[in-house]
Structure 1
Amino acid sequence: MKLRHVILGSVFHDCPTDALFRRFSEESVMISRYLTRLVRKERIESGTFNMIVVSPVESRKPSSIWQGAENLNIEVPMNWADYEAAKGREEVNALFLSLFKEAFKRLGKERDFPVARLIDILHGFREAGYRNEWTFKRRLFREYGLKAALDCRLELDRFVLRLTITKAGMIVFEHDILTTETDPLFWYYRFKDIRVCNGQVEIIGRNDRQPEDGAWEAEVLFTWRIPHGLGLPH
């Protein structure tokens, strides 16, 4: 089995306030999605689990490692006052990174697992300035001489999707076309491809309504009409 997910887990029972729990749930997505995206590229053999869940517990409580059906749960101590005091991308993610690092060290002591590769990914996140940015898709429309790219940016409090369209190396359109909450439920299916249709560049996704036949329907998220004379077919 390959490792496919590395996330900060639920802290509902240990979190001192509902407001802090909501903040933690929102802000922890940024580093969790970064680690998940990178570990999938590594194709790490993980044996009987495909997910590592790191769950903070109050410092006074004993922590443990235990395995569920297909997930390995690692509890690590955290002082909630430290998290509450952390502000901004660097401080918050530095704290989250320390939790993952402690969890990976514990994993390495108790199991034969390539934790050095996980720690290298953590260091890469820190060296990148605690940023989670990636290009989702690029398309070349030769007949119009246009290139289009969808770039994603996941911050502590929001997800942002940017569309950039160029012609002959010059930007002809660049704009954030979607800003939403960090939870992937709000953005993961909203965009899947880029196409040109009826003189328009369209960003298409999948709606959240599944018909009886089980086939999801395509839904247009955004359209940009190609200006007259700019993208005439060659």
Structure 2
Amino acid sequence: MIFKHLIITLDHKDFSKEERYPHFLSSRFILSFLEREVLKKLKLNRAFSMLYICLINETNKSELKEIYLGEKSLRHNIYNPDYLKYSKLNGIEKVEYYITILLNSINTLKDKYDLPLSEIKEGIQKFRNLGYRNEWVHKKKLYRPLSITFFLECEMTMEEFNLYLTLRKKKETLLKKCILTTDPDEIAFHYKFKDIVFENNKVTIKGLQGYTLFESAIDELLSGIK
């Protein structure tokens, strides 16, 4: 199977759902970047599709194996007694905390499970060079009657995910409109947008299984543009 997912989470026996979910969400900021910019391009065939890094404390330390290869995931349990201190970090300090956990895990596992440590390090440096920004273009399509290109542009932070409908003519941005805000969790947004459809002078943003996220007459979108 293709190795394509990175997860850092808290063990469910040691931490409440109220502690686990915010931790998971804020870690997606850096991990989704590495999944897209590194793992998706490498297309590595491994015995697992996910590296599942689980932080545990003293309560559960003696009950769990450090490394466990399941049906689809490689689980690495890491004893992390300083979690409460790190949980209070914000911004770049918190991102670097996740990076440290990830690199320590991959360094431990890389030889036995052939993990791409050098490529992950390069991806992390690219992330830093971009100013700790996770942004990408999901789709673009030219509306030929007006020679305007419609973009679906994604932006993920530790707090939220935003999807923008952006209109550009040549290099000029005519409009940038936020059409979706969710938690920074792919499960919350991945099905809501897939394609840009032009029909009867309208633009529609279609998701999976017929889901319509956004629809507007094109002249209404352009009406406020001078």
TM-score range, shorter chain: 0.7 to 0.9
- Residue 56 of structure 1 corresponds to which residue in structure 2? 55
Secondary structure of 1:86's partner? coil
TM-score for both structures, normalised by structure 2 = 0.85
- Residue 215 of structure 2 corresponds to which residue in structure 1? 223
- Once residues 71 and 193 of structure 1 are traced to their aligned partners in structure 2, the CA distance between those partners, rounded to angstroms, is 31
Deviation at 1:168, TM superposition (A): 4.2
- Once residues 97 and 153 of structure 1 are traced to their aligned partners in structure 2, the CA distance between those partners, rounded to angstroms, is 20
How many residue pairs end up in the alignment?
217
- 129-138 vs 161-170, greater mean Cα deviation: 161-170
- Residue 44 of structure 2 corresponds to which residue in structure 1? 44
Contact 2:152 2:166 (C-alpha < 8 Å) held by counterparts: yes
Question: AA paired with 2:41?
Answer: K
- Residue 35 of structure 1 corresponds to which residue in structure 2? 34
- Once residues 125 and 24 of structure 2 are traced to their aligned partners in structure 1, the CA distance between those partners, rounded to angstroms, is 23
Question: AA paired with 1:176?
Answer: C
- 50-59 vs 94-103, greater mean Cα deviation: 50-59
1:23-46 alpha-carbon deviations (Å, 9 max, x no partner): 212212222222222311112232
- Residue 65 of structure 1 corresponds to which residue in structure 2? 67
Question: AA paired with 1:83?
Answer: Y
1:76–1:131 CA distance, 2 compared to 1 (3 A):
farther
- Residue 164 of structure 1 corresponds to which residue in structure 2? 166
Secondary structure of 1:75's partner? strand
Secondary structure of 1:98's partner? helix
- Once residues 130 and 169 of structure 1 are traced to their aligned partners in structure 2, the CA distance between those partners, rounded to angstroms, is 25
- Once residues 148 and 112 of structure 2 are traced to their aligned partners in structure 1, the CA distance between those partners, rounded to angstroms, is 53
1:62-81 alpha-carbon deviations (Å, 9 max, x no partner): 67111001211112232212
Contact 1:6 1:52 (C-alpha < 8 Å) held by counterparts: yes
- Residue 115 of structure 1 corresponds to which residue in structure 2? 117
Contact 1:56 1:99 (C-alpha < 8 Å) held by counterparts: no
Contact 1:7 1:35 (C-alpha < 8 Å) held by counterparts: no
TM-score for both structures, normalised by structure 1 = 0.82
Contact 2:154 2:162 (C-alpha < 8 Å) held by counterparts: yes
Secondary structure of 2:135's partner? strand
Deviation at 1:18, TM superposition (A): 4.5
Matches within 5 A, 1:20-31: 20-31=19-30
- Residue 86 of structure 1 corresponds to which residue in structure 2? 89
Deviation at 1:173, TM superposition (A): 1.8
Deviation at 1:147, TM superposition (A): 0.5
Question: AA paired with 2:188?
Answer: F
Question: Are residues 1:188 and 2:190 paired?
Answer: yes
Deviation at 1:84, TM superposition (A): 2.1
Contact 2:103 2:117 (C-alpha < 8 Å) held by counterparts: no
Contact 2:106 2:115 (C-alpha < 8 Å) held by counterparts: no
Secondary structure of 1:85's partner? coil
- Residue 125 of structure 1 corresponds to which residue in structure 2? 127
Question: AA paired with 1:80?
Answer: Y
Identity %: 26
Secondary structure of 2:211's partner? strand
Deviation at 1:197, TM superposition (A): 1.6
1:182–1:113 CA distance, 2 compared to 1 (3 A):
closer
1:1-55 alpha-carbon deviations (Å, 9 max, x no partner): 331112213432222x543223212212222222222311112232x11211111
Contact 1:104 1:119 (C-alpha < 8 Å) held by counterparts: no
Structure 2: state its 5+ residue gaps: none
- Residue 99 of structure 1 corresponds to which residue in structure 2? 101
